[in-house]
Amino acid sequence: MTIDLKPTLEVAIPAFNEEISILHILLSLLGQDTSNFRLKYITVYSDRSTDNTDNIVKKTSQKYPLVRLKIGKTRLGKYLRLNEIFRDCKSDILVILDADIALDGKKFLVNLVEEMNSDKKFQMISAHQIMVRPKKFMEKIVYTNFLLWDYVRWSIPGYDSGNNFYASATAFRGSFARTIQIPTNLTDPHLYLYLMAANCRGFRYCTKARIFQQPITTFKDYQRFLRRPLGKKDDNLEKLLNVSAEEIYRVSVKYKIIGLIKCFWYEPFYTPLSLLLGIYGKIYLRLWTNKNSSSIWEIVTSTKKKFI
């Protein structure tokens, strides 16, 4: 009798009203290469979805037993729903994915596991997120505004920065995930997760495991994104961990210049326009007074598109 020593892996997908994309991500996961791990299950954690998300997952689970559905009794928002996911984790590796992404190839999970296995210090691994380039003029300006920041954060040596933890696709060592409980009073739980890993030098960015994400393409969604509390001062977090969020998110001018040069190289026409949009964004945030401290964010709808 042979004993399978490959690590066990489970996938969790927190979802709210993802009827457009949920089947695509489930089928992509079911078609993944599993040569270096044992896939236990794929669980969708529905955050009280009001569309057809739950029914799609139920039908998929009837055909594919690996797929499971857990429906929350109340809407918590993504990050507080993660606490439930962390508590439920029983595997060696936990992969948490947003529902509205696309995986690049059939070795996405294999690449994450390979990275995790390469060093026992690694506790949390962030996948490489790439935006899909839109076609319309105004959409390209918004897209380039985000692309510019991508080029900046990718210029940081070793990608070792809180700016490179986007949480759209993340692998956690199971033993580490089971120790995490995100405090409910934080406005930037995203930074809390990064710090939990970074404090034990366990954060890693994996360029081989790539995902694609639809960009924000409307002005209204751009404003909604700006109003999210991520990346902003969180007094409760700073008191809890004795840190300065501003210091953690700060990027050297050197890497900003490198990112700007790269963006001008690849998007010479749209980069100046995206810089103007960025100036508008800073003014908008200064004038906006209804600061958001809720764990439930405003939904950005323009990213909810089918991947072809």
- pLDDT at position 304 is 85
Per-residue burial over 188-227, b if 16 or more Cβ lie within 10 Å, else e, is bbbbbbbbbbbeeebbbbbeebbbebbbbbeeebbbbbeb
Q: How far apart are CA 179 and CA 192, in angstroms?
A: 13
Q: What percent of the chain has pLDDT over 90?
A: 75
Q: For the ranges 85-89, 149-153, 164-168, which has the lowest average pLDDT? A: 164-168
Q: What is the mean pLDDT of residues 246-261?
A: 94
Domains present along the chain, CATH in parentheses: 8-287 (3.90.550.10)
SS3 state of residue 184:
coil
Q: How many CB atoms lie within 10 A of CB 290?
A: 5
More confident residue, 299 or 30: 30
245 pLDDT tier (thresholds 50, 70, 90): confident
Contacts of range 67-73, beta carbons closer than 8 Å, 24 or more positions apart? 67/26, 67/30, 67/41, 67/42, 67/43, 68/41, 68/42, 68/43, 68/44, 69/43, 69/44, 70/43, 70/44, 70/45, 70/46, 71/46, 72/45, 72/46, 72/47, 72/48, 73/48
Q: What is the pTM (predicted TM-score) of this model?
A: 0.94
- N-term to C-term CA, the chain: 44
- pLDDT at position 305 is 83
Tokens of 45: 């954690």
Q: What is the pLDDT of residues 20-33, one digit of tens each?
A: 999 999 999 999 99
